[in-house]
Structure 1
Amino acid sequence: MDEIDKKILTALQQDARTTHKELSAIAGISTTPVYERVKRLEREGVIKRYVALLDKKKVGKALTVISMVTLKSHKKDVIDKFHEHVLAMPEVMECYHMAGNYDYMLKVLVNDMEEYQKLLVEDLARTEAIANIQSMFVMGEVKQETAYNL
């Protein structure tokens, strides 16, 4: 990846709808090489997908919960079952396998506390693989970035 690729990627991270013509002006090369570079970056998996970033409050996802999860066991089948369960939960926006006091960190977005309580009691807590869940509620966001500094 060279400096031109980085310029293209930086621009696309700011606005994925940036045209090839606009990218060529930013990168300082003509449109055809920009098109070819973008296609190569997509093929190589550097560009995974294009998305629209939504206002979570306006789409009914005002409450962010960080749930720290401890599993009952670290056997492969238990971990696989937990992964499968989490992947099927649309409320779970992010899931990280952790080292330390907890096994997983989940970022859960729901409308309100009542919806989280229902999710916790009727879904997460019923998962056989889970031994403990510690929930923390986000009071405000100080910084949230989606773009990598290249």
Structure 2
Amino acid sequence: MKKSKIKLDKTDRKILEILQANAKITNAQLAQEIGLSPAPTLERVKKLEISGIIKSYHATLDNEKVGLGVSTFVMVSLKGHNKANIEVFTQSIAEIEEIIECHHITGSGDFILKIISQDIPSYQKLMLEKVTNIEVVDSMQSLVILSTFKDSKIMPIP
């Protein structure tokens, strides 16, 4: 089922750019930046939320400051690439809070996961006690993130 693309005008795009950069901006500040009064600005933001274009608002945390010093990508291959195995896998990883992203991919693996943990020993424990115990996992390849040069949460609006 294909999702229909929603038409955005110049003002909608500007609102999305501003909110992505600073979701804590007040409606009055937003209105001033886009050149509308507060009531129509709020109406436009609500429309973007109701349509599902704006899915949620989040605080971005500093991983190291909250004690999560190790980030990895893990490429996972399943024992068989069928619907039942995919469901078992996705349901299993949904219960592991350290897995913060899961993407179904093409190429040499079936999924790529982004995992955060306190340190290497806790990462190793997570992998040995949880991830490798998922019955449909055939193989995994871990890629430890040494440093990050770009981690933008701002989507370019076409």
Query: Could you tell me which residue of structure 1 aligns to residue 4 of structure 2?
Result: none
- Residue 17 of structure 2 is aligned with which of 10, 16, 19? 10
2:115 matches 1:108: yes
Aligned-pair distance for 1:73? 0.7
* Amino acid aligned to 1:62: G
- Give the whole-Å Cα distance in 2 for the aligned partners of 1:66 and 1:50: 24
- Give the whole-Å Cα distance in 2 for the aligned partners of 1:71 and 1:59: 33
* Amino acid aligned to 2:120: M
- Residue 32 of structure 2 is aligned with which of 25, 38, 62? 25
- Give the whole-Å Cα distance in 1 for the aligned partners of 2:72 and 2:103: 14
The one-character-per-residue Cα deviations of 1:20-76 (angstroms, maximum 9, x if unpaired) are: 111111111111100000001000001101110010101111111110000001121
Unaligned runs of 5+ in 1: none
Aligned residues: 150
TM, length-normalised to structure 1? 0.98
Query: Could you tell me which residue of structure 2 aligns to residue 122 of structure 1?
Result: 129
* Amino acid aligned to 1:66: F
- Give the whole-Å Cα distance in 1 for the aligned partners of 2:121 and 2:77: 23
- Give the whole-Å Cα distance in 1 for the aligned partners of 2:133 and 2:96: 13
TM, length-normalised to structure 2? 0.93
Query: Could you tell me which residue of structure 2 aligns to residue 67 of structure 1?
Result: 74
Q: Secondary structure at the residue paired with 2:132? A: helix
Q: Secondary structure at the residue paired with 1:10? A: helix
- Give the whole-Å Cα distance in 1 for the aligned partners of 2:58 and 2:76: 29
- Give the whole-Å Cα distance in 2 for the aligned partners of 1:17 and 1:45: 19
Aligned-pair distance for 1:89? 1.1
Aligned-pair distance for 1:83? 0.5
Q: Secondary structure at the residue paired with 2:100? A: strand
- Residue 54 of structure 1 is aligned with which of 55, 61, 70? 61
Q: Secondary structure at the residue paired with 1:127? A: coil
Question: Would you identify which runs of 4 or more consecutive aligned residues in structure 1 move more than 4 Å?
Answer: none
- Residue 41 of structure 2 is aligned with which of 34, 52, 60? 34
- Give the whole-Å Cα distance in 2 for the aligned partners of 1:85 and 1:9: 34
Query: Could you tell me which residue of structure 1 aligns to residue 154 of structure 2?
Result: 147
- Residue 76 of structure 1 is aligned with which of 63, 83, 97? 83
- Give the whole-Å Cα distance in 2 for the aligned partners of 1:148 and 1:125: 34
